[in-house]
Amino acid sequence: MPKSRTTKISNDTIQINHRLGFTIIKPIESFKVVPIFCELCEICMNGELDRQYYEKYSCCFSCGSLWADGNQDAWLSGWRPEANKIKEEKNRRATDSISFSL
């Protein structure tokens, strides 16, 4: 079976001709891969806001808006809330009602 072939098509884009016959065109600088679970609270990541906050703070929107936004300098220097505070927040979220309305 032939190998996949990668070609640079511009200064910031590559083309991959996959060995199975399809083509992928993607930026050279790929986006940060968003994990399934927040690295801080371990709750499932979900939606565009979680992706944006993960790229900025490496956590979900809920953790970022609660702890990182107001303490940006400390957060970017490595500060994180204590484990008991994270646990309290997880418990609070678990008891919140969920709205399914549009």
The amino acid that residue 30 corresponds to is: S
Quote the CA–CA distance of 82 and 77 in Å, as a whole number: 15
94 has a pLDDT exceeding 70: yes
Rounded to an integer, the average pLDDT of 11-25 is: 85
Going by pLDDT thresholds of 50, 70 and 90, the confidence category of residue 79 is: very high
Enumerate the domain spans of the chain.
1-30, 48-95
Query: Which amino acid is it at 63?
Result: C
pTM equals 0.65
